Amino acid sequence: MSFRSTPEQSEIISAELVSQRIVACAGSGKTATAVRRVFEIRKRLIAQSGHVALLSYSNTAVNTFRKAYELLCAESPQLSRRVLIATVDSFMTSQILLPHASRMMGCTRQPFLVHGNELFLKNCRVFNGSHNVDIEYLHVSIDTDGGIAFTESSSRGRRKSVSPIDAKNAINKLAKFGAYTHELGRYWSLMTIGKENRLLEILARKYPYILVDEAQDIGSMHGVLLSLLQEAGSTVSLIGDPNQAIYEFAEADGSYLRNFKPPNGGYCQNLTENWRSVYDIVNVANQLTAANSKTAREVPTRKHGAFLIQYDPKKLTELLSTFSNILQSNGYTKVEASVICRGTALLEKLSGCAVDIGQGATEKFARAAICRDNLGDISDAFEWMLGGILKILDNPEHTLKHDILSGSNEIIPKTMRRLLWKFLKNSTTGLPHARLNAKSVWLPSLKKRLSSLLNDIETQCELSKLETWKHNVTAAKLNDNSLLQDDFIPSEMDGINLQTVHRTKGESIGAVLYIANPKDISNLLEGPVSEEGRIGYVAVTRARDLLILAVPETSYKSKAKLLKQKGFIDWD
């Protein structure tokens, strides 16, 4: 289907080469707009030097942009040159961190990323005033006075201040190895360009035009980088939806986009037409956000809209069966449907994961099996598998995990990658299937096969296993049921995607079942004034034709009237 720009899109695409702030409602075609804006800029710069950068916040978005841009360049291949499409972090890493930051870090090698759990990280822990914590939980931000703030972040997003002296000691100790975490990659990038002003000028000249997609996700560190580049001469434009700022734990609350003022005669523009969702769903989104977006969709013939159903939290299998029946009865295929929820705990329960899946290395191998056999995520499965192996090797190189995951062609990481993929992909001779009884069958099989794998690693990679490696692959916190609850997921749910709200961001889904708890519903009704409210908004706006909000029976009486005022109706 050929792209036909709306008047709003045409105005953005054809605007003068100045800074833009574009606030786009959900489903407004901002991806198509952004990539065509970059194409238009590139055409106008054909006789000039300098690159155009299109930056976003996920690899999925980047891949989508690259494919779309390649199609646009099919008849004009010269326009494919001098265009960089990458994540914001990748831009910082490739343009600043890897080529230049070693001078600031005081290391003698190119910096490398650590993923956590590397054994040498124990030497770089951070004292938080009461005890030491892993450096992977050290969060770095820019405070309201423009200074650098260090906090300890937990998995729940809570923050605890850390002494700058203690934080910098740990950071510098890690830097001597040449290592950085995701957080510290941003820190060292900013430290480098802050120290070397010439580098900032070079970057601004190399990238005179920068367009940032998903700009509601800009946090304090990225915001400083973009502001510095703008001051140095880059024309920076932003496109995003502040109502979809759901990474507040990373200080991405949409404020940078909301407060951005395009300089030098720049434009503030809007995309207000929703091409994704039917009127009833757009109406709910408008009621939640006090917006005035318009639907551009044709009315489908199958049953559609925004509906409420009640459920018993103790009978989730019945809820899943009900949703499956609704799909079948109303002409929806399983591949166009998703069940989404707020948190990973409910997702794991919905996925049929057992509660007790071991600890230490055992848990990592168990999660690898679950990812492979139940969630169909072979990439995550490989990373869990690698994490388990590293816990039972004797003092592997600091860079080994990074080298394996980054695709290094060095002989040891390349050989390790081959051995681990072979072990992971074959449940008969490698990592046992997650549906085996965990304690009596799965674990003994795992130990026997790991022994063979470790022998291969020692022979082919010259890496030694721990003499006591079996002590790290124990039966602790394993029961004798399967790692998966075979009887939990109704068979009719096979083929229907199960996701958290965060994983659906940017997706367009035909039919959505959003399973909410009482707190989720209260946050949804409050609107996008908090991160939790914005998470609810993202869940609602993923649906194209059918949105079903599942409300606990105990909350239905108190919440139904308020939800109906927002545009929901009961499913009949």
Burial 128-145 (b: 16+ CB within 10 A, else e): beeeebbbbbbbbbbeee
Amino acid (1-letter code) at residue 546 = L
Which tokens is 500 given?
Answer: 């958290």
Integer angstrom CA distances of residue 395 from 364, 366, 399: 18, 23, 11
DSSP letter string over 487-528?
Answer: TTS-GGGTT-EEEEHHHHTT--EEEEEEE--HHHHHHHHH-T
C-alpha distances in Å from residue 198, one per residue of 95, 231, 509: 13, 13, 47
Burial of 255 (0-12, 13-18, 19+ CB in 10 A): middle
Residue type (1 letter), 268: C
Q: Is 405 exposed, middle or buried (0-12, 13-18, 19+ CB in 10 A)?
A: middle
Residue holding tokens 């948190």? Answer: 343
Burial-class residue 488 by CB neighbours within 10 Å (0-12, 13-18, 19+): middle
Q: Coil, strand or helix: which one is 169?
A: helix
How is residue 2 annotated by DSSP? -
For residue 440, the tally of other CB atoms under 10 A from its CB is: 13
Q: Is 425 annotated as a binding residue?
A: no
Q: How is residue 516 written in tokens?
A: 């909410």
Instruction: Please indicate if the annotation marks 506 as binding a ligand.
Output: no
Give 524-550 as a DSSP string: HHH-TTSHHHHHHHHHHHTEEEEEEEE
- Confirm or deny that 31 is annotated as ligand binding: yes
Which is nearest to 192 in space by CA: 221, 163, 165?
A: 221
Task: Report phi then psi at 547, rounded to 5.
Answer: -125, 125
Is 27 labelled as part of a ligand binding site?
A: yes
Helix (H) or strand (E) run with residue 112 in it? strand 112-113
Instruction: Quote the distance between the C-alpha of residue 73 and its chain's center.
Output: 28
Distance (Å) of CA 136 to CA 45, 131, 253, 433, 448: 42, 15, 22, 31, 33
Q: Is 26 one of the annotated binding-site residues?
A: yes
b (16+ CB within 10 A) / e for 459-470? eebebebeeebe
SS3 (DSSP) at 127 = strand
Which runs of E-coded beta strand occur in 138-274? 138-142, 148-153, 159-161, 179-180, 209-212, 235-240, 267-271, 273-274
157 annotated to a ligand binding site: no
Rounded Cα distance between 512 and 305, Å, is 11
Q: Whats the size of the chain, residue-wise?
A: 572
Tell whether residue 29 is among the known ligand binding residues. yes
Residues annotated within the binding site for ATP are 24-31
Residues annotated within the binding site are 24-31
